[in-house]
Amino acid sequence: MSRITIESIEAIIVDLPLKRTQRFAAIGADSTAVVLVRVRTSDGVEGIGECCTPSGPWWAGESVESIKLMIDDHIAPHAIGHDVFDIRGFYRIVDRKLFGNAFAKAGVEMALLDIQGKIAGVAVCDLLGGRQRNALPCSWPLATGSAEAEIDEAERCISAGTFNIFKLKMGFLSPEEDVARACAVARGLEGRGSVRADPNESWDEATCKWALPRMVDAGIQLIEQPLPRWNLEGSARLSSSCRAPIMADESISTPRDALDLGRIHAADVVSIKVMKHGGLGRARQIADLSLAMGMSLYMGTFLECSIGTAASMQLCATFDHLPYGGELSGAHLVAEDIAIRPARYEDFELKLEDGVGLAVEVDEDRLRSLRRDRTHSTHTLGTAVG
- Which residues are the active-site residues? 169, 327
- d(Cα 69, Cα 194) in Å, to the nearest integer? 41
User: Is residue 327 within 8 Å of 167, Cβ to Cβ?
Assistant: yes
Comparing CA positions, the residue from 99, 15, 21 lying closest to residue 65 is 15
User: Residue 61: what residue type?
Assistant: G
Comparing CA positions, the residue from 71, 113, 37 lying closest to residue 367 is 37
265 phi/psi in degrees, rounded to 5: 50, 60
6 phi/psi in degrees, rounded to 5: -75, 125
Q: Name every residue whose Cβ is closer than 8 Å to that of residue 269 and which is 6 or more positions away in sequence.
A: 222, 245, 246, 247, 248, 295, 296, 297, 298, 323, 324
User: Is residue 338 within 8 Å of 366, Cβ to Cβ?
Assistant: yes
